[in-house]
Structure 1
Amino acid sequence: MATLRLCELVAVPGAAAVTLDVAAGATAALAAAPPIGTAVARVVSGLAAPVAGRVLVGDREVTALPPSQRRIAYVPAGGALLPHLTVRRNIAYGQRRRERVREMADAWTATVVDRLELAPTLELRPHLLSEAQRFRVALARAVACLPEVLVIDLPTGPAGGGRLTDLVGRLSPANTPGVAVLVCTADPGSLADVPVVAEVGR
Protein backbone atom coordinates (compact mmCIF):
# COMPACT_ATOMS: atom_id res chain seq x y z
CA MET A 1 0.00 0.00 0.00
CA ALA A 2 1.18 3.54 -0.71
CA THR A 3 0.52 7.24 -0.25
CA LEU A 4 -1.40 9.12 -2.95
CA ARG A 5 0.24 12.43 -3.85
CA LEU A 6 -1.19 15.13 -6.08
CA CYS A 7 1.39 17.76 -7.00
CA GLU A 8 0.03 21.06 -8.40
CA LEU A 9 -2.63 19.09 -10.25
CA VAL A 10 -4.96 21.08 -12.52
CA ALA A 11 -7.81 18.93 -13.79
CA VAL A 12 -9.67 21.45 -15.98
CA PRO A 13 -8.66 24.80 -17.48
CA GLY A 14 -9.21 27.65 -15.05
CA ALA A 15 -9.41 25.49 -11.94
CA ALA A 16 -7.04 25.97 -9.04
CA ALA A 17 -4.11 23.59 -8.65
CA VAL A 18 -4.45 20.82 -6.07
CA THR A 19 -1.59 19.64 -3.89
CA LEU A 20 -2.32 16.99 -1.26
CA ASP A 21 -1.12 13.75 0.31
CA VAL A 22 -3.34 10.87 1.43
CA ALA A 23 -1.39 8.27 3.38
CA ALA A 24 -1.94 4.53 3.07
CA GLY A 25 -4.84 3.59 5.31
CA ALA A 26 -6.16 7.16 5.51
CA THR A 27 -9.36 8.64 4.10
CA ALA A 28 -9.47 12.30 3.07
CA ALA A 29 -11.85 14.60 1.22
CA LEU A 30 -11.32 17.06 -1.60
CA ALA A 31 -14.06 19.71 -1.52
CA ALA A 32 -15.05 20.85 -5.00
CA ALA A 33 -18.11 21.62 -7.09
CA PRO A 34 -19.33 18.45 -8.87
CA PRO A 35 -17.86 19.18 -12.34
CA ILE A 36 -14.43 19.93 -10.91
CA GLY A 37 -14.50 17.13 -8.34
CA THR A 38 -15.45 14.62 -11.02
CA ALA A 39 -12.70 15.96 -13.28
CA VAL A 40 -10.10 15.53 -10.52
CA ALA A 41 -11.32 11.98 -9.81
CA ARG A 42 -11.10 11.05 -13.49
CA VAL A 43 -7.63 12.56 -13.87
CA VAL A 44 -6.30 10.76 -10.79
CA SER A 45 -7.79 7.50 -12.05
CA GLY A 46 -6.25 7.91 -15.50
CA LEU A 47 -9.50 8.39 -17.41
CA ALA A 48 -8.55 11.93 -18.45
CA ALA A 49 -5.31 13.85 -18.87
CA PRO A 50 -4.47 16.74 -16.53
CA VAL A 51 -3.96 20.29 -17.69
CA ALA A 52 -0.88 20.39 -15.46
CA GLY A 53 0.68 18.69 -12.46
CA ARG A 54 1.55 15.16 -11.38
CA VAL A 55 -0.05 12.12 -9.74
CA LEU A 56 2.13 9.82 -7.63
CA VAL A 57 1.38 6.54 -5.88
CA GLY A 58 4.14 6.12 -3.34
CA ASP A 59 7.37 6.80 -5.24
CA ARG A 60 5.83 5.96 -8.63
CA GLU A 61 4.72 8.77 -10.91
CA VAL A 62 1.62 7.51 -12.69
CA THR A 63 0.52 10.71 -14.46
CA ALA A 64 1.13 9.29 -17.94
CA LEU A 65 0.19 5.67 -17.19
CA PRO A 66 -3.07 4.06 -18.34
CA PRO A 67 -5.62 3.16 -15.63
CA SER A 68 -4.67 -0.53 -15.66
CA GLN A 69 -1.11 0.27 -14.56
CA ARG A 70 -1.85 2.79 -11.83
CA ARG A 71 -3.17 0.53 -9.04
CA ILE A 72 -5.85 3.18 -8.49
CA ALA A 73 -9.51 2.13 -8.29
CA TYR A 74 -12.38 4.50 -9.07
CA VAL A 75 -15.98 4.68 -7.86
CA PRO A 76 -17.85 7.09 -10.16
CA ALA A 77 -20.74 9.22 -8.96
CA GLY A 78 -23.80 7.00 -8.67
CA GLY A 79 -21.67 3.85 -8.80
CA ALA A 80 -22.16 3.28 -12.55
CA LEU A 81 -23.14 -0.37 -12.08
CA LEU A 82 -23.89 -2.32 -15.25
CA PRO A 83 -27.69 -2.77 -15.18
CA HIS A 84 -27.76 -5.99 -17.23
CA LEU A 85 -25.34 -7.80 -14.89
CA THR A 86 -26.02 -9.33 -11.50
CA VAL A 87 -24.23 -8.06 -8.40
CA ARG A 88 -21.87 -11.03 -8.63
CA ARG A 89 -20.92 -10.22 -12.23
CA ASN A 90 -20.64 -6.49 -11.53
CA ILE A 91 -18.12 -7.22 -8.79
CA ALA A 92 -16.24 -9.71 -10.97
CA TYR A 93 -16.02 -7.03 -13.66
CA GLY A 94 -13.67 -5.12 -11.36
CA GLN A 95 -11.21 -8.01 -11.46
CA ARG A 96 -10.45 -7.47 -15.14
CA ARG A 97 -7.62 -5.13 -14.07
CA ARG A 98 -6.13 -7.36 -11.41
CA GLU A 99 -2.42 -8.03 -11.61
CA ARG A 100 -2.02 -10.59 -8.82
CA VAL A 101 -2.47 -14.34 -8.59
CA ARG A 102 -6.02 -15.40 -9.46
CA GLU A 103 -6.53 -17.41 -6.27
CA MET A 104 -5.58 -14.43 -4.11
CA ALA A 105 -7.93 -12.09 -6.00
CA ASP A 106 -10.81 -14.58 -5.81
CA ALA A 107 -10.32 -15.10 -2.08
CA TRP A 108 -10.12 -11.35 -1.50
CA THR A 109 -13.32 -10.73 -3.46
CA ALA A 110 -15.16 -13.30 -1.34
CA THR A 111 -13.87 -11.53 1.78
CA VAL A 112 -15.09 -8.13 0.56
CA VAL A 113 -18.53 -9.53 -0.29
CA ASP A 114 -18.76 -10.87 3.25
CA ARG A 115 -17.49 -7.69 4.91
CA LEU A 116 -19.92 -5.48 2.96
CA GLU A 117 -22.82 -7.88 3.65
CA LEU A 118 -23.55 -8.40 -0.04
CA ALA A 119 -23.93 -12.19 -0.13
CA PRO A 120 -27.79 -12.09 -0.16
CA THR A 121 -27.72 -9.76 -3.19
CA LEU A 122 -25.27 -11.59 -5.46
CA GLU A 123 -27.87 -12.88 -7.94
CA LEU A 124 -29.86 -9.62 -8.05
CA ARG A 125 -29.58 -6.88 -10.65
CA PRO A 126 -28.81 -3.30 -9.57
CA HIS A 127 -32.36 -1.94 -9.99
CA LEU A 128 -33.52 -4.29 -7.21
CA LEU A 129 -31.03 -2.87 -4.70
CA SER A 130 -31.30 0.04 -2.33
CA GLU A 131 -29.09 3.09 -2.91
CA ALA A 132 -26.86 2.05 -0.02
CA GLN A 133 -26.49 -1.49 -1.42
CA ARG A 134 -25.60 -0.16 -4.88
CA PHE A 135 -22.89 1.98 -3.32
CA ARG A 136 -21.47 -1.05 -1.51
CA VAL A 137 -21.45 -3.05 -4.74
CA ALA A 138 -19.57 -0.23 -6.46
CA LEU A 139 -17.02 -0.25 -3.62
CA ALA A 140 -16.64 -4.03 -3.85
CA ARG A 141 -16.15 -3.86 -7.63
CA ALA A 142 -13.49 -1.16 -7.22
CA VAL A 143 -11.40 -2.99 -4.63
CA ALA A 144 -11.69 -6.43 -6.26
CA CYS A 145 -8.51 -5.63 -8.20
CA LEU A 146 -6.54 -5.05 -4.94
CA PRO A 147 -5.70 -1.37 -5.54
CA GLU A 148 -3.32 0.75 -3.52
CA VAL A 149 -5.50 3.87 -3.90
CA LEU A 150 -9.28 4.29 -4.05
CA VAL A 151 -10.86 7.44 -5.53
CA ILE A 152 -14.56 8.00 -4.82
CA ASP A 153 -16.62 10.62 -6.65
CA LEU A 154 -19.31 11.30 -4.04
CA PRO A 155 -20.89 14.71 -4.66
CA THR A 156 -23.66 14.51 -2.05
CA GLY A 157 -22.34 12.33 0.75
CA PRO A 158 -22.45 8.58 1.48
CA ALA A 159 -25.41 6.62 0.19
CA GLY A 160 -27.78 5.67 2.96
CA GLY A 161 -26.31 8.30 5.27
CA GLY A 162 -23.81 5.94 6.90
CA ARG A 163 -20.31 6.73 8.06
CA LEU A 164 -17.99 6.33 5.11
CA THR A 165 -14.99 5.34 7.21
CA ASP A 166 -16.96 2.39 8.60
CA LEU A 167 -17.19 1.00 5.07
CA VAL A 168 -13.68 2.00 4.00
CA GLY A 169 -12.22 0.17 6.98
CA ARG A 170 -13.52 -3.08 5.49
CA LEU A 171 -11.82 -2.61 2.11
CA SER A 172 -8.21 -3.60 2.83
CA PRO A 173 -6.71 -7.02 3.57
CA ALA A 174 -5.68 -7.71 7.16
CA ASN A 175 -2.11 -6.96 8.20
CA THR A 176 -1.63 -4.26 5.54
CA PRO A 177 -1.37 -0.47 5.96
CA GLY A 178 -4.63 -0.14 4.04
CA VAL A 179 -5.74 1.62 0.90
CA ALA A 180 -5.40 5.41 0.56
CA VAL A 181 -8.89 6.83 -0.08
CA LEU A 182 -9.60 10.20 -1.70
CA VAL A 183 -13.24 11.32 -1.71
CA CYS A 184 -14.17 14.12 -4.13
CA THR A 185 -17.29 15.81 -2.79
CA ALA A 186 -19.28 19.02 -3.03
CA ASP A 187 -20.75 18.36 0.42
CA PRO A 188 -17.90 17.79 2.91
CA GLY A 189 -20.27 18.54 5.78
CA SER A 190 -21.97 15.19 5.13
CA LEU A 191 -18.65 13.42 5.77
CA ALA A 192 -18.22 14.33 9.41
CA ASP A 193 -15.72 11.52 9.92
CA VAL A 194 -13.53 12.45 6.91
CA PRO A 195 -11.05 15.36 7.09
CA VAL A 196 -10.97 17.85 4.21
CA VAL A 197 -7.39 18.09 2.98
CA ALA A 198 -7.95 20.46 0.05
CA GLU A 199 -10.56 22.67 -1.59
CA VAL A 200 -10.62 23.57 -5.26
CA GLY A 201 -12.70 25.91 -7.39
CA ARG A 202 -12.39 28.20 -10.35
Structure 2
Amino acid sequence: MATLRLCALVAMPGTAAVTLDVPAGACAGLVAAPPLGTAVARVVSGLAAPVAGRVLVGDREVTTLPPPQRHIAYVPAGGALLPHLTVRRNIAYGQRRRERVREVADAWTATVVDQLELAPTLGLHPHLLSEAQRFRVALARAVVCLPEVLVIDLPTGPVVGGRLTDLFERLSPPDTPGVAVLVCTADPTALADVPVAAEVDE
Protein backbone atom coordinates (compact mmCIF):
# COMPACT_ATOMS: atom_id res chain seq x y z
CA MET A 1 0.00 0.00 0.00
CA ALA A 2 1.19 3.54 -0.73
CA THR A 3 0.49 7.24 -0.46
CA LEU A 4 -1.41 8.96 -3.28
CA ARG A 5 0.16 12.28 -4.23
CA LEU A 6 -1.33 14.87 -6.55
CA CYS A 7 1.32 17.41 -7.48
CA ALA A 8 -0.07 20.66 -8.94
CA LEU A 9 -2.58 18.59 -10.90
CA VAL A 10 -4.76 20.50 -13.37
CA ALA A 11 -7.57 18.26 -14.64
CA MET A 12 -9.43 20.79 -16.82
CA PRO A 13 -8.24 23.89 -18.70
CA GLY A 14 -8.68 27.09 -16.72
CA THR A 15 -9.09 25.41 -13.33
CA ALA A 16 -6.94 25.61 -10.23
CA ALA A 17 -4.18 23.11 -9.58
CA VAL A 18 -4.74 20.44 -6.93
CA THR A 19 -1.94 19.44 -4.57
CA LEU A 20 -2.64 16.90 -1.83
CA ASP A 21 -1.35 13.74 -0.19
CA VAL A 22 -3.50 10.81 0.93
CA PRO A 23 -1.44 8.38 3.02
CA ALA A 24 -1.99 4.63 2.90
CA GLY A 25 -4.90 3.73 5.14
CA ALA A 26 -6.28 7.28 5.15
CA CYS A 27 -9.17 8.88 3.32
CA ALA A 28 -9.53 12.45 2.11
CA GLY A 29 -12.18 14.48 0.35
CA LEU A 30 -11.88 16.78 -2.63
CA VAL A 31 -14.79 19.21 -2.99
CA ALA A 32 -15.31 20.52 -6.52
CA ALA A 33 -18.14 21.23 -8.94
CA PRO A 34 -19.42 18.08 -10.74
CA PRO A 35 -17.49 18.47 -14.00
CA LEU A 36 -14.24 19.26 -12.21
CA GLY A 37 -14.54 16.65 -9.47
CA THR A 38 -15.27 13.95 -12.03
CA ALA A 39 -12.39 15.19 -14.20
CA VAL A 40 -9.94 14.91 -11.28
CA ALA A 41 -11.17 11.39 -10.47
CA ARG A 42 -10.79 10.31 -14.10
CA VAL A 43 -7.31 11.83 -14.43
CA VAL A 44 -6.09 10.17 -11.23
CA SER A 45 -7.52 6.85 -12.41
CA GLY A 46 -5.85 7.15 -15.81
CA LEU A 47 -9.02 7.52 -17.86
CA ALA A 48 -8.07 11.02 -19.00
CA ALA A 49 -4.84 12.96 -19.37
CA PRO A 50 -4.13 15.97 -17.13
CA VAL A 51 -3.60 19.47 -18.45
CA ALA A 52 -0.60 19.73 -16.13
CA GLY A 53 0.84 18.21 -12.98
CA ARG A 54 1.71 14.73 -11.77
CA VAL A 55 0.10 11.74 -10.05
CA LEU A 56 2.26 9.55 -7.80
CA VAL A 57 1.49 6.31 -6.00
CA GLY A 58 4.18 6.02 -3.37
CA ASP A 59 7.45 6.68 -5.20
CA ARG A 60 6.04 5.69 -8.59
CA GLU A 61 4.95 8.40 -11.00
CA VAL A 62 1.89 7.04 -12.79
CA THR A 63 0.81 10.18 -14.69
CA THR A 64 1.33 8.64 -18.11
CA LEU A 65 0.66 4.99 -17.25
CA PRO A 66 -2.50 3.19 -18.45
CA PRO A 67 -5.07 2.31 -15.74
CA PRO A 68 -4.06 -1.36 -15.27
CA GLN A 69 -0.51 -0.34 -14.38
CA ARG A 70 -1.45 2.29 -11.79
CA HIS A 71 -2.86 0.01 -9.06
CA ILE A 72 -5.64 2.59 -8.66
CA ALA A 73 -9.28 1.49 -8.50
CA TYR A 74 -12.11 3.82 -9.53
CA VAL A 75 -15.76 3.99 -8.46
CA PRO A 76 -17.58 6.30 -10.91
CA ALA A 77 -20.62 8.34 -9.91
CA GLY A 78 -23.59 6.02 -9.68
CA GLY A 79 -21.32 2.96 -9.50
CA ALA A 80 -21.69 2.04 -13.19
CA LEU A 81 -22.78 -1.51 -12.38
CA LEU A 82 -23.57 -3.70 -15.37
CA PRO A 83 -27.37 -4.07 -15.27
CA HIS A 84 -27.49 -7.46 -17.00
CA LEU A 85 -25.09 -9.07 -14.51
CA THR A 86 -25.85 -10.27 -10.99
CA VAL A 87 -24.06 -8.81 -8.00
CA ARG A 88 -21.76 -11.83 -7.97
CA ARG A 89 -20.77 -11.33 -11.60
CA ASN A 90 -20.42 -7.56 -11.22
CA ILE A 91 -17.95 -8.11 -8.40
CA ALA A 92 -16.12 -10.79 -10.38
CA TYR A 93 -15.77 -8.28 -13.23
CA GLY A 94 -13.23 -6.45 -11.04
CA GLN A 95 -11.09 -9.56 -10.87
CA ARG A 96 -9.93 -9.08 -14.44
CA ARG A 97 -7.05 -7.07 -12.92
CA ARG A 98 -6.12 -9.62 -10.27
CA GLU A 99 -3.14 -11.27 -12.00
CA ARG A 100 -0.61 -9.68 -9.65
CA VAL A 101 -2.47 -11.01 -6.59
CA ARG A 102 -3.86 -14.27 -7.94
CA GLU A 103 -2.76 -16.29 -4.92
CA VAL A 104 -4.97 -14.24 -2.54
CA ALA A 105 -7.67 -12.87 -4.83
CA ASP A 106 -10.34 -15.52 -4.28
CA ALA A 107 -10.06 -15.47 -0.50
CA TRP A 108 -9.98 -11.67 -0.48
CA THR A 109 -13.10 -11.46 -2.66
CA ALA A 110 -15.00 -13.67 -0.21
CA THR A 111 -13.81 -11.45 2.64
CA VAL A 112 -14.95 -8.27 0.89
CA VAL A 113 -18.40 -9.75 0.23
CA ASP A 114 -18.66 -10.63 3.90
CA GLN A 115 -17.27 -7.32 5.16
CA LEU A 116 -19.69 -5.28 3.04
CA GLU A 117 -22.64 -7.54 3.95
CA LEU A 118 -23.35 -8.43 0.33
CA ALA A 119 -23.81 -12.21 0.60
CA PRO A 120 -27.66 -12.04 0.54
CA THR A 121 -27.56 -9.96 -2.67
CA LEU A 122 -25.14 -12.05 -4.77
CA GLY A 123 -27.86 -13.53 -6.99
CA LEU A 124 -29.70 -10.23 -7.54
CA HIS A 125 -29.43 -7.75 -10.39
CA PRO A 126 -28.59 -4.10 -9.67
CA HIS A 127 -32.13 -2.76 -10.20
CA LEU A 128 -33.31 -4.85 -7.24
CA LEU A 129 -30.82 -3.25 -4.85
CA SER A 130 -31.09 -0.12 -2.76
CA GLU A 131 -28.85 2.80 -3.63
CA ALA A 132 -26.64 2.04 -0.63
CA GLN A 133 -26.31 -1.60 -1.69
CA ARG A 134 -25.36 -0.61 -5.23
CA PHE A 135 -22.66 1.65 -3.81
CA ARG A 136 -21.27 -1.24 -1.76
CA VAL A 137 -21.25 -3.52 -4.79
CA ALA A 138 -19.32 -0.88 -6.74
CA LEU A 139 -16.84 -0.64 -3.86
CA ALA A 140 -16.45 -4.42 -3.77
CA ARG A 141 -15.85 -4.60 -7.52
CA ALA A 142 -13.19 -1.90 -7.21
CA VAL A 143 -11.21 -3.43 -4.34
CA VAL A 144 -11.18 -7.13 -5.23
CA CYS A 145 -8.07 -6.49 -7.33
CA LEU A 146 -6.28 -5.22 -4.19
CA PRO A 147 -5.50 -1.68 -5.38
CA GLU A 148 -3.13 0.62 -3.55
CA VAL A 149 -5.42 3.61 -4.11
CA LEU A 150 -9.20 3.92 -4.37
CA VAL A 151 -10.77 6.96 -6.09
CA ILE A 152 -14.50 7.54 -5.64
CA ASP A 153 -16.61 10.01 -7.63
CA LEU A 154 -19.38 10.49 -5.07
CA PRO A 155 -22.64 12.09 -6.26
CA THR A 156 -24.62 14.43 -4.07
CA GLY A 157 -27.17 13.01 -1.69
CA PRO A 158 -27.20 10.21 0.87
CA VAL A 159 -26.10 7.25 -1.27
CA VAL A 160 -23.84 5.53 1.23
CA GLY A 161 -26.19 4.24 3.91
CA GLY A 162 -23.69 4.72 6.73
CA ARG A 163 -20.40 6.35 7.66
CA LEU A 164 -17.92 6.39 4.82
CA THR A 165 -14.95 5.76 7.07
CA ASP A 166 -16.67 2.68 8.52
CA LEU A 167 -16.97 1.26 5.01
CA PHE A 168 -13.43 2.18 4.02
CA GLU A 169 -11.98 0.38 7.03
CA ARG A 170 -13.38 -2.86 5.57
CA LEU A 171 -11.68 -2.47 2.20
CA SER A 172 -8.12 -3.54 3.01
CA PRO A 173 -6.76 -6.92 4.12
CA PRO A 174 -5.79 -7.18 7.79
CA ASP A 175 -2.18 -6.52 8.75
CA THR A 176 -1.67 -4.09 5.85
CA PRO A 177 -1.30 -0.28 5.93
CA GLY A 178 -4.59 0.00 4.03
CA VAL A 179 -5.71 1.58 0.80
CA ALA A 180 -5.47 5.35 0.27
CA VAL A 181 -8.97 6.66 -0.50
CA LEU A 182 -9.74 9.91 -2.37
CA VAL A 183 -13.40 10.93 -2.50
CA CYS A 184 -14.34 13.58 -5.08
CA THR A 185 -17.71 15.26 -4.62
CA ALA A 186 -19.56 18.53 -5.19
CA ASP A 187 -21.43 18.14 -1.91
CA PRO A 188 -19.31 18.58 1.24
CA THR A 189 -22.17 17.23 3.37
CA ALA A 190 -21.84 13.91 1.52
CA LEU A 191 -18.36 13.51 2.99
CA ALA A 192 -19.70 13.55 6.57
CA ASP A 193 -16.80 12.01 8.51
CA VAL A 194 -14.19 12.25 5.74
CA PRO A 195 -11.64 15.07 6.16
CA VAL A 196 -11.70 17.62 3.32
CA ALA A 197 -8.19 17.86 1.91
CA ALA A 198 -8.95 20.40 -0.81
CA GLU A 199 -11.70 22.58 -2.23
CA VAL A 200 -11.31 23.58 -5.88
CA ASP A 201 -13.22 26.24 -7.78
CA GLU A 202 -13.51 26.20 -11.53
TM-score by length of 2: 0.97
Alignment of 1:171 onto 2:168: no
Instruction: Structure 1: state its 5+ residue gaps.
Output: none
Structural mapping, 1:1-202, within 5 Å: 1-202=1-202
Q: Is 1:75–1:139's contact at 8 Å kept on the other side of the alignment?
A: yes
Separation of aligned partners in 2, 1:192 and 1:135: 16
Cα offset for 1:161?
4.1
Q: Is 1:56–1:62's contact at 8 Å kept on the other side of the alignment?
A: yes
For residue 188 of structure 2, what is the amino acid of its counterpart? Answer: P
User: Matched residues, percent identical?
Assistant: 87
For residue 39 of structure 2, what is the amino acid of its counterpart? Answer: A
Separation of aligned partners in 1, 2:90 and 2:159: 18
Separation of aligned partners in 1, 2:158 and 2:174: 24
Separation of aligned partners in 2, 1:169 and 1:152: 15
CA displacement, residues 112-138 of structure 1 (integer Å, 9 cap, x when unaligned)? 000000001101100000000000000
What is the DSSP-based 3-state SS (H/G/I as helix, E as strand, rest coil) of the residue aligned with 2:182?
strand
Cα offset for 1:157?
4.9
Cα offset for 1:12?
0.6
Cα offset for 1:98?
1.7
Separation of aligned partners in 1, 2:101 and 2:31: 37
Q: Is 1:3–1:57's contact at 8 Å kept on the other side of the alignment?
A: yes
Q: Is 1:22–1:28's contact at 8 Å kept on the other side of the alignment?
A: yes
Separation of aligned partners in 2, 1:61 and 1:41: 16
Separation of aligned partners in 1, 2:186 and 2:56: 24
Q: Is 1:157–1:191's contact at 8 Å kept on the other side of the alignment?
A: no
Q: How many correspondences in the alignment?
A: 202
Separation of aligned partners in 2, 1:26 and 1:101: 22
For residue 130 of structure 2, what is the amino acid of its counterpart? Answer: S
Cα offset for 1:102?
2.3
Separation of aligned partners in 1, 2:63 and 2:157: 28
TM-score by length of 1: 0.97
Q: Is 2:98–2:145's contact at 8 Å kept on the other side of the alignment?
A: yes
What is the DSSP-based 3-state SS (H/G/I as helix, E as strand, rest coil) of the residue aligned with 2:47?
coil
Cα offset for 1:147?
0.1
- Identify which range, 190-199 or 134-143, moves more after superposition: 190-199
